[in-house]
Structure 1
Amino acid sequence: MLSFSELHQFLRMPVLIQHFIEHRQQDPSLSLLGFLNLHYIHQYIHDEDYQQDQQLPFRHSDCCVTYTTVCCETLAILL
Structure 2
Amino acid sequence: MKKAVAILLMALYLMGTTEAGQVLKLPLLVEHYVKHKGESPGTTIFSFFKMHYVDPQPYDADYQQDMELPFKTCLYFFTLTPPSILPVLPQLSFKVPAEAPVMREIINGEIPPYLPLHSIFQPPRCV
Q: Is TM-score (shorter-chain normalized) higher than 0.5? A: yes
Measure, in 1, the Cα distance between the counterparts of 2:80 and 2:30. 33
In structure 2, the gaps of 5 or more residues are 1-17, 83-127
State the distance in 1 between where 2:79 and 2:44 align: 36
> Which residue does 1:21 correspond to in 2?
34
Q: Which residue of 1 aligns with 2:44?
A: 31
Distance 2:58 2:21 in 1: 24
Report the counterpart of residue 74 of structure 1 in structure 2: none
Rg larger for: 2
Give the TM-score taking structure 2 as reference length. Answer: 0.47
Distance (Å, rounded) in 2 between the aligned partners of 1:67 and 1:45:
35
Q: Which runs of 4+ in 1 moved over 2 A?
A: 65-69
Return the alpha-carbon distance in structure 1 between the equivalents of residues 81 and 24 of structure 2: 29
* 2:73 aligned with 1:60: yes
- Counting aligned pairs with the same residue, the percent is 34
**What is the rounded CA distance, in whole Å, between the counterparts of 2:32 and 2:66 in structure 1?**
8
Distance 2:79 2:23 in 1: 21
Q: Distance in 1 between matches of 2:79 and 2:55?
A: 27
Give the 3-state SS of the residue equivalent to 1:58 in structure 2: coil
Report whether the alignment pairs 1:49 with 2:62.
Answer: yes
CA distance in 1, matches of 2:51, 2:80: 32
CA offset at residue 67 of structure 1? 6.2
